Structure 1
Amino acid sequence: MSATDQHKHDLRLYLQDARDAFLFSLEARRAVRVRHPPPLTPTGTNLLGLVKHVTGAEAFYLGTVFGRPVRAPGLWITGDAEPNADLWATPDETREEITGRYRRVWAHSDATVEAFGLDAVGRLPGEDGGDGPALSLHRVLVHLVAETQRHAGHADVVRELIDGTAGLRRGSEDMAPGDEAWWRGHRAQVESAAREAAGRFAG
């Protein structure tokens, strides 16, 4: 395998790892809790909306930018949707629909990556309908790995707030071993340290 092929392989590996983490975040102990209770952050961050957003991002960068459009939610940040429209699920959108669309778009994305070399150049849409700035496939993949992993981290926190589930994936050893009582003690220790520091450095 050439160095360039190895680089492409590595980028695809990390992108797929982030995708899988996203789908694990939707495996809440009670499926209905993926949508309920209401959003747990002031900005409305929610699991289905995060998946919907990264679906649109992949479709944009590995579809539109490389002349291979695919049907997906438009991104509000590109002017293709109302503000934040790609960051929440409407009442008639199901979890199965949103995750199925994500899988279909990432299959399309993988085909784009397979079809082009890392030095291939795509174009962002221009404001006047023409071509905008050029982006290499290498840069697009780095961007998508960073963006998807960032939002997968958001999903980790939201999922833990919903039902207490934590960790990168099922069977993962990325969490310290401990039962529920151990984690309560750990949280109390962290909270105590924070309170002590606040008192020590106040004023």
Structure 2
Amino acid sequence: MDDFKDHLATYLNNSRQAMLWKAEGLGDKELTRPMVPTGTSILGLIQHLGFVEYGYFVQCLGFSIADEHYAALEADADDSADMWVSADVPCAEVLAFYRRAIEAANRNIAALSLDAPATVPWWPGERRHTTLGRLMLHMNVETARHAGHADILRELIDGSTGMRRDNDNMPPYDDIAWNELHEKILRASESR
């Protein structure tokens, strides 16, 4: 089981790093700009992930959360407070918040076995009684999903794509090849 736990942690950390990479080199306006009708922004996704990292890997494992940024989000009456960043909150604070959440999560993940009990108060019924292993699986999916969102948002902002700085996992196309591919796909779509 230790190997499986290591695999879960490795994949989770890869997605976490992808999220942080999506924020690199962007100014405050690019980080906080809502890019789709639901108001999703890169920094909003990062703040949300920090919030749920603390929730699942600290609170649900029976530990207390001593983080002012988390407490402010938890106390906010707005159901979507964790998904966007108000103008009075520095972007650097949200990035630091996410890093703190990851550190707290990693400490608890390292200290506990996959079958360590957890309780998720916001999950319905008997499902709320679970384990660290299930929380790790859940957060792998959650973080990878939002990393995909962030990838698309970043592409809309400045054209940057991919999961990692050192290997974006994209075909080595130049602008002409990307435009040709886009046009080919557009023609196929329009011919339906």
Q: TM-score, normalised by structure 1?
A: 0.84
Counterpart CA distance in 2 for 1:6 and 1:85 is: 37
User: 2:16: which partner in 1?
Assistant: 19
The runs of 4+ residues in structure 1 deviating greater than 4 Å are 78-81
Q: How far did residue 134 of structure 1 move?
A: 1.4
Q: How far did residue 126 of structure 1 move?
A: 7.5
Q: How far did residue 79 of structure 1 move?
A: 8.7
Number of paired residues? Answer: 187
Q: Which amino acid aligns with 2:107?
A: A
Answer yes or no: is 1:136 the counterpart of 2:123. no
Structure 1 stretches of 5 or more lacking a match?
A: 198-203
Deviations 1:74-106 (A, max 9, x none): 698x99742211000110222211111111110
| Residue pairs, 1:11-50, within 5 angstroms | 11-28=8-25, 30-35=26-31, 38-50=33-45
User: 1:153: which partner in 2?
Assistant: 148
Whichever structure has more helix as a proportion of its residues is 2
Q: Conserved in 2, the CA contact under 8 Å of 1:75 and 1:86?
A: no
Q: Conserved in 1, the CA contact under 8 Å of 2:28 and 2:91?
A: no
Structure 2 stretches of 5 or more lacking a match?
A: none
Q: Which amino acid aligns with 2:91?
A: R
Answer yes or no: is 1:117 the counterpart of 2:113. yes
Q: How far did residue 180 of structure 1 move?
A: 1.4
Counterpart CA distance in 1 for 2:15 and 2:72 is: 20
Answer yes or no: is 1:88 the counterpart of 2:64. no
Answer yes or no: is 1:64 the counterpart of 2:65. no
Q: Conserved in 2, the CA contact under 8 Å of 1:65 and 1:124?
A: yes
Answer yes or no: is 1:165 the counterpart of 2:166. no
Change (3 A) 1:6 1:75: farther
Change (3 A) 1:42 1:67: same
Q: Which amino acid aligns with 2:161?
A: A
Q: How far did residue 143 of structure 1 move?
A: 0.3
Q: Conserved in 2, the CA contact under 8 Å of 1:22 and 1:51?
A: yes
User: 1:200: which partner in 2?
Assistant: none
Q: Which amino acid aligns with 1:100?
A: A
Residue aligned with 1:40, SS: coil
Answer yes or no: is 1:176 the counterpart of 2:133. no
Q: Conserved in 2, the CA contact under 8 Å of 1:62 and 1:112?
A: yes
Residue aligned with 1:125, SS: coil
Counterpart CA distance in 2 for 1:33 and 1:166 is: 19
Counterpart CA distance in 1 for 2:168 and 2:23 is: 19
Deviations 1:3-35 (A, max 9, x none): x1001100000100110000111124x424523
Q: Which amino acid aligns with 2:15?
A: A
Q: TM-score, normalised by structure 2?
A: 0.89
Structure (1 or 2) with the larger CA radius of gyration: 1
Deviations 1:93-149 (A, max 9, x none): 22211111111110110110111111110122389xxxx931100000000000010
